[in-house]
Structure 1
Amino acid sequence: MGPVTITRRRFLERGGGVAAAAVAAACGAPGRLPSPPTLRVMLNGGIYEELARRLVIEPFERETGAHVVVVPASAAQIVTRLIAEQSAPSVDVAIIDQLVMGPAVDAGVFDTVDAARVPNMRDLAPAAVDRRGYGPIVHSHNLVIGYNTKRLSVEPPSSWADLWDPRFKQTLVPGAIELTPGILFLLQANALNGGSYENADPGFAAVARLAPNVRKYFHSIGEVRPLVSRENVVVAISSNMLQVEIAQGSPVGMVFPAEGCLASPAVAQIVRGTKVRALAEQFVDSYLRPEAQLGWAQDYNVSVFNTKVVVPDHVKARIADRVVFFDANEVARRRGAWVDRWMREIKG
């Protein structure tokens, strides 16, 4: 066979193709650019997911080039799924209710967090740092008292203790025991009456005495807003839920109880076995950035814990004044027994 003649143009075309193939091969797959790393995150859906995307996820994706896949779920669903797939986790990070996550912690689902690799943790208030080394609190809902300003015909309560006053007969709507507001209400009733984590008898006795004042126990957060905006009820619900009604012009009043607002924190947990641990640590750090923390306070009306954040006074007035924390470890240890006892004795 004689020599093959190649024109300069054909030589350049062939050379360009070879070079492109070499670059593609070096990137891991012939003809393809490298895929961005993926981080899978479980968190609450709805409005919460929308805010998380704007305040945390989109800035994180721009900075890292990673792609975040959100798996929306309730706290209970997060716990159930992570325990079920513990041997081969498909999720890297969970943003979860601290007072619900106990079974997942006990099962060993979450890994400890190295604060040196999450720089914004050094600026957190002590209450936001888990003493066992698990993920930090990223923000907190706060249980307060709400009421309908047009329909309540008696003086509004100023404290948790006031709710036992006969003037509130058949007007109270606390949370049922399976919900975090219900657990917090029981814990506060217990604290008011000299109880402890080891001895919840005073709390159960106090809730039993409250029966004449209870109109119903709510079993879904969605039940509360229509009730308080239209009817003569006094509710125990988070301040950010009440703020939605207030912002819409509903006749809703909010009380920060004298004993303190009750914290319902959300925490960022790294799932044990993640294959993108460094990326997961960066994501947790992004939640704690001052600009993200300020956004959560302003747009979601929750307490934040980065001490470098200056929350304006008018925003603080929508969230809480003094916040009371209950020990999540103690709650996790006893929550199941409290729920069982509630169903036997209170049945609300």
Structure 2
Amino acid sequence: MIMNRRSLMTTALTLGAMKAFPGLSFAQARPLVFATFTGSWEEAHKAVLVPAFRKANADAAIVLDPMLSVDQIAKVNAAKANPPIDVMLHDPGPALVAIGQDLVEPYPVEKSVYYKDLISEAQEQTGPAPFFQVVGLTYNPEAIKTPPTSWADLWKPEFKGRVGITNLNSTLGTGWLVEIAKMRGGSEANVDPAFKALEELKPNLAAVAANPGALATLFQQGQIDISPGNFNAIQILKARGVPVEFVAPKEGAIAFKTTIHIVKNSPNRELAFKLIEAALTAEVQTTLMKPPYLIVPTNSKVAMSGEIARVLAKDTAELKQKFVFQDWKKINEQRSAWIERFNREIKI
């Protein structure tokens, strides 16, 4: 078995705990494992959420294991009785799958201090939403002097070999595919027009990234000049001087909440709960809302400000009014088939 650095760290921490407390099993002794997302999410959680959690919990051991939601679900499904993850992070589609497959514990709302502070849309009893995500167009302003205004701009001949997208394993990829289907006369139930559009896009495609973090990095590497992208995924790059900007297309940017869940049968239920509590606090969400992270908050005590208020929305009411919220229950009915079709048909 190949072990990466994160696996080795988890094992070392576990063995240390077992040595100190001989009565503990391996599962009981291992540190809290939080499956965050890749890229800017991992950086933000490592810099802000993890220190806040450890400060409030006697410096408790925690390991971040970044991966896509589909991989989180696969890992937990492979070891339901002794899951290798304690806390999962999911966008709407994967959250419905994880809940439907009975992989998550109900959130203990009755003992939560901060659940009541969340906006109503974020109060999910299967796992609250600590933030929103917004997907629009990201582009290099040094290469593209006139900002794009529509999803359709990705097909412009001047962008030949300069467009990036993600595969459909990510919510970004699937959500964008649905919007292209709508633009071409389709819907959440019919994305055939989008696959036809993807064939037409091939001359412009420079890369199909594995996840949103990898897609954002392609701007830094100079491999692409325009793509569908997450608002916050590019912010750390901007802070480092990478020329990249975000714009909402005229068809409407995509918005969705991301929920955080205690994994069923976790040996670290209490610590998992405390990590989520930390993610819901006004202090953590206020910090994450500021540069270089710019993550959209859900705590009602946190007023949207700065770049988020300027570019996205002044408050949650405006966010709900301006952006597109998709029907992920309908999308999930065919998503697996779409992923297989995409992987088969869209190659560079």
Deviation at 1:309?
A: 0.5
The answer (yes or no) to whether the contact 1:263–1:325 under 8 Å persists in 2 is yes
302-311 vs 336-345, which moves further: 336-345
The answer (yes or no) to whether the contact 1:79–1:101 under 8 Å persists in 2 is no
List gaps (5 residues or longer) in structure 2: 1-20, 23-27, 314-318
The answer (yes or no) to whether the contact 1:177–1:339 under 8 Å persists in 2 is yes
Deviation at 1:337?
A: 0.8
Deviation at 1:184?
A: 1.9
39-48 vs 280-289, which moves further: 39-48
Q: Which digits, 9 at most, give the CA deviation of each residue in 1:129-155, with x for residues without a partner?
A: 44xx421222233222122223236x3
- In the superposition, relative to structure 1, how do residues 122 and 161 fare at CA in structure 2: closer, same or farther (>3 Å)? farther
CA distance in 1: counterparts of 2:134 and 2:298, whole angstroms: 13
Query: 1:95: which partner in 2?
Result: 89
Match 1:234 to one of 226, 240, 254: 226
Equivalent residue letter for 2:168: I
Alignment of 1:125-204 (within 5 A): 125-130=119-124, 133-152=125-144, 155-204=146-195
Alignment size in residue pairs: 313
Query: 1:335: which partner in 2?
Result: 335
CA distance in 2: counterparts of 1:93 and 1:235, whole angstroms: 30
RMSD over aligned Cα atoms? 3.4
Query: Percent same amino acid at aligned positions?
Result: 25
Match 1:124 to one of 104, 118, 122: 118
Q: Secondary structure at the match of 2:130?
A: strand
- In the superposition, relative to structure 1, how do residues 277 and 186 fare at CA in structure 2: closer, same or farther (>3 Å)? same
Match 1:306 to one of 299, 305, 314: 299
Deviation at 1:54?
A: 4.5
Q: TM-score, normalised by structure 2?
A: 0.75
Deviation at 1:271?
A: 1.2
Q: TM-score, normalised by structure 1?
A: 0.75
CA distance in 1: counterparts of 2:245 and 2:66, whole angstroms: 30
Equivalent residue letter for 2:121: A
Q: Secondary structure at the match of 1:156?
A: coil
CA distance in 2: counterparts of 1:107 and 1:239, whole angstroms: 30
Deviation at 1:326?
A: 2.4
The answer (yes or no) to whether the contact 1:101–1:332 under 8 Å persists in 2 is no
Equivalent residue letter for 1:244: I
The answer (yes or no) to whether the contact 1:260–1:324 under 8 Å persists in 2 is yes
Deviation at 1:163?
A: 3.1
Deviation at 1:232?
A: 6.4
290-299 vs 193-202, which moves further: 193-202
CA distance in 1: counterparts of 2:47 and 2:165, whole angstroms: 32
Deviation at 1:101?
A: 4.7
Deviation at 1:319?
A: 6.0
List gaps (5 residues or longer) in structure 1: 1-27, 30-34
